[in-house]
């Protein structure tokens, strides 16, 4: 479903929780549509199939910004323009760079008085063989909000990440995990705690006021607003009230880094949740910790809730796992653009060459560029996955498999997102439109139905050795008794998989459509955190 960041928070639960017709509305991808009928009339200088260069219209804005762009340190390039100029930019840009540009209907841009509405239409309506929308990843972001999220690692919230286990009555919403030093941890919330009511509205409410309250609580935006949650902690007999006030949360990129001593060796574990800029330093610190003498014999990488982000971060982590011997001179991922750009990256101007495994820091945040990355030098990795494991996270798996690092998957089928884009800012909106597909050293990138553990029973994608195991909300992440980690440790010791229980994405439904993946639940991520993002060269 195509949504802005604000709509992401506001619309998902209105489609999930409300059975009212007013909360519905269809679009080709199975989610909410927001494309109104175009106004009457139209321009006279539009010619179907004739496109001027996008730079003709770049930064010609109906509401030009003033001041300094924090992403560049320079003044915004905006000049006075019109909505039509903004639409023309989108039309020309999309025709040049969209991966499936030939499948887009060319519409008169003067018929649309909102660039976001027009952008919604600039994508293919084709479907995959499973019936899913071919393009489920077309979205926009407020530019300032995108910058703060991607660079600073901050977002409004309580520090509780919610897992939506059942969205049909009776509903079930639990805490997936919490952020350190947050209202959630201060309130004693831990993984598995079940929310039964919010501000007096039962979680099964269908009243409009109740739905609005649930939306505001679970997809928050109002810093300073206070909510009272009625929760039942894991193992508790009685509920308790939890009062939390929304604040700006600094998300931990990596959590629970530890070494488990087993009879057959030392096993490293870490929960990796975000491919944002601060992840570079966090991952380096984690690998250095796991390398503390005598080091580890195996690694369990928990990316069950990691939807993606910067592809360079994925390349760094893959190198740190595998080390230089297996990856030297090898492709982590090769970007393939549309047939208008067969040999040159249209954003950087560089010849299209494989992205090798990064052996040095890229200078994302606290660390300068050029520092050698620490390595574990492991021939295999155990990866814990869920239906929210997407894009850049899947690229880690695919990149390692391409150089014959054994990837053993424990969990559920991943989301299937081998595509990516450079974010493009114009007039205060950052546009994300599919521009390339990624393939590994073996030229493989066809996992649009996700990666699936070998014994997965339904919705099987690209099969990977391992076990289908549902998410376990009765144990903390990183403890040896947690279901997926326990299965990984057992598999490592030669034991058989438990009975298959993990599921995966439902064919035909977009990740943000509000559809439930039973048993595993859904931990929703922002659009930035559920995609494969390239850093945009500055214009």
| Mean pLDDT computed over 520-528 | 79
Residue 286 lies in a domain: yes
pLDDT digits (tens, 9 = 90+) for 126-143: 887 667 788 878 889 899
Q: Which helix (H) or strand (E) holds 439?
A: strand 436-439
Q: What is the pLDDT of residue 345?
A: 92
Residue 347 lies in a domain: no
Cα–Cα separations (whole angstroms), residue 359 to 201, 332, 356, 403, 495: 52, 11, 9, 15, 35
User: Do 135 and 162 sit in the same domain of this protein?
Assistant: no
Residue 141 lies in a domain: yes
Residue 483 lies in a domain: yes
Q: What is the pLDDT of residue 306?
A: 96
Q: What is the pLDDT of residue 276?
A: 92
User: Do 224 and 182 sit in the same domain of this protein?
Assistant: yes
Q: What is the pLDDT of residue 37?
A: 38
Q: Residue 56 pLDDT more than 90?
A: yes
Domain stops at, among 195, 217, 250: 250
pLDDT band at residue 153 under the 50/70/90 scheme:
low
User: Do 38 and 59 sit in the same domain of this protein?
Assistant: yes
User: Do 409 and 295 sit in the same domain of this protein?
Assistant: yes
pLDDT band at residue 530 under the 50/70/90 scheme:
confident
What domain range is 364 assigned to? 254-334+357-418+438-508
Tell me how many domains the chain contains.
3
pLDDT digits (tens, 9 = 90+) for 222-259: 899 999 999 999 999 999 999 999 999 989 999 999 99
**Between 115 and 5, the higher pLDDT residue:** 115
User: Do 382 and 477 sit in the same domain of this protein?
Assistant: yes
Residue 520 lies in a domain: no
Q: Share the mean pLDDT of the chain.
A: 86
pLDDT digits (tens, 9 = 90+) for 363-373: 998 899 999 99
Q: What is the pLDDT of residue 70?
A: 86
| Mean pLDDT computed over 67-93 | 94
User: Do 55 and 104 sit in the same domain of this protein?
Assistant: yes
User: Do 393 and 265 sit in the same domain of this protein?
Assistant: yes
User: Do 194 and 281 sit in the same domain of this protein?
Assistant: no
- Reference 146, options 8, 271, 29, 246; nearest CA is 8
pLDDT digits (tens, 9 = 90+) for 256-296: 999 999 999 999 999 999 999 999 999 999 999 999 988 89
Q: What is the pLDDT of residue 280?
A: 97
User: Do 144 and 159 sit in the same domain of this protein?
Assistant: no
Q: What is the pLDDT of residue 151?
A: 65
| Prior bond of 348 cis (ω within 30°) | no
Integer Cα distance of 316 and 355 in angstroms: 11
Return the number of other C-beta atoms located less than 10 Å from residue 272's C-beta. Answer: 26
Structure token digits, residue 445: 């990138």
Residue 161 lies in a domain: yes
Q: What is the pLDDT of residue 130?
A: 64
Residue 534 lies in a domain: no
Q: What is the pLDDT of residue 72?
A: 83
Do residues 395 and 311 touch, judged by C-beta distance below 8 A?
Answer: yes
- Reference 373, options 432, 430, 332; nearest CA is 332
| Mean pLDDT computed over 81-85 | 97
User: Do 312 and 289 sit in the same domain of this protein?
Assistant: yes
The answer to pTM > 0.85 is no
Q: What is the pLDDT of residue 14?
A: 38
∠234-235-238 over CA atoms, to 5°?
95
CATH number of residue 480's parent domain = 3.90.226.10
Q: Residue 21 pLDDT more than 60?
A: no
Integer Cα distance of 460 and 449 in angstroms: 7
Q: What is the SS3 assignment for 419? A: strand
Do residues 503 and 413 touch, judged by C-beta distance below 8 A?
Answer: yes
| Mean pLDDT computed over 298-319 | 96
Residue 433 lies in a domain: no
CATH number of residue 179's parent domain = 2.30.42.10
Domain stops at, among 250, 265, 294: 250
User: Do 191 and 325 sit in the same domain of this protein?
Assistant: no
Name which of 168-172, 178-182, 217-221, 254-258 the model is least confident about.
Answer: 168-172
Q: Residue 155 pLDDT more than 90?
A: no
Q: Which helix (H) or strand (E) holds 200?
A: none
| Mean pLDDT computed over 341-360 | 92
Q: What is the pLDDT of residue 223?
A: 92
Do residues 502 and 472 touch, judged by C-beta distance below 8 A?
Answer: no
User: Do 104 and 164 sit in the same domain of this protein?
Assistant: no
> Buried (b) or exposed (e) across 236-271, using 16+ Cβ within 10 A?
eeeeeebebebbebbbbbbbbbbbbeeeeeebbbbb
């Amino acid at each position: 479903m195509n949504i802005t960041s604000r709509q992401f928070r506001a619309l998902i639960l209105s489609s999930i929780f409300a059975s009212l017709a007013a909360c519905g509305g269809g679009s080709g991808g199975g989610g909410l549509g927001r494309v109104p009928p175009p106004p009457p009339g139209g321009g006279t200088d539009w010619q179907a199939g004739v496109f001027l260069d996008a730079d003709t219209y770049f930064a010609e804005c109906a509401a030009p910004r003033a001041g300094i762009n924090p992403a560049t340190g320079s003044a915004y390039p905006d000049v006075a323009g019109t909505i039509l100029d903004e639409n023309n930019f989108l039309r020309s840009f999309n025709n040049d760079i969209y991966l499936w540009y030939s499948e887009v209907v060319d519409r008169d841009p003067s018929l649309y008085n909102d660039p976001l509405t027009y952008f919604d239409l600039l994508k293919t309506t084709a479907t995959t063989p499973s019936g899913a929308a071919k393009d489920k990843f077309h979205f926009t972001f407020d530019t300032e909000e995108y910058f703060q999220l991607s660079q600073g690692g901050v977002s409004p919230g309580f520090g509780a990440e919610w897992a939506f286990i059942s969205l049909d009555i009776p509903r079930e919403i639990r805490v997936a995990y919490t952020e350190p030093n947050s209202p959630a941890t201060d309130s004693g919330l831990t993984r598995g705690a079940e929310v039964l009511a919010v501000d007096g509205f039962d979680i099964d409410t269908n009243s409009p006021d109740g739905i609005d309250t649930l939306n505001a609580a679970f997809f928050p935006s109002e810093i300073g607003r206070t909510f009272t949650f009625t929760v039942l902690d894991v193992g508790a007999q009685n509920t308790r009230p939890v009062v939390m006030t929304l604040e700006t949360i600094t998300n931990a990129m990596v959590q629970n880094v530890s070494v488990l001593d087993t009879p057959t060796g030392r096993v490293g574990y870490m929960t990796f949740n975000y491919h944002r800029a601060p992840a570079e330093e966090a991952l380096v610190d984690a690998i250095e910790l796991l390398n503390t003498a005598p080091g580890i014999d195996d690694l369990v990488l928990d990316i069950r809730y990691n939807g993606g982000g910067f592809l360079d971060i994925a390349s760094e982590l893959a190198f740190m796992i595998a080390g230089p011997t297996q990856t030297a001179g090898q492709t982590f991922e090769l970007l393939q653009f549309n047939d208008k750009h067969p040999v040159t990256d249209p954003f950087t101007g560089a010849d299209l060459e494989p992205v090798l495994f990064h052996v040095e820091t890229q200078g994302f945040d606290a660390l300068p560029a050029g520092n050698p990355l620490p390595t574990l030098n492991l021939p295999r990795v155990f990866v814990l996955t869920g239906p929210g494991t997407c894009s850049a996270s899947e690229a880690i798996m695919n990149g390692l498999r391409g150089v014959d690092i054994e990837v053993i998957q424990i969990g559920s089928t991943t989301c299937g997102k081998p595509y990516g884009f450079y974010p493009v800012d114009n007039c205060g909106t950052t546009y994300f439109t599919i521009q390339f597909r990624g393939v590994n050293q073996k030229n493989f990138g066809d996992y649009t139905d996700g990666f699936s553990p070998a014994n997965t029973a339904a919705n099987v994608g690209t099969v990977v050795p391992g076990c289908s195991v549902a998410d376990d909300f009765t144990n903390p992440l990183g403890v040896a008794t947690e279901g997926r980690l326990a299965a990984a440790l057992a598999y490592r010791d030669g034991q058989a998989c438990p009975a298959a229980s993990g599921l995966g994405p439902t064919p035909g439904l977009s990740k943000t459509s509000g559809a439930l993946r039973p048993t595993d639940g859904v931990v929703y991520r922002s659009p930035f955190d559920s995609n494969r993002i390239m850093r945009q060269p500055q214009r």
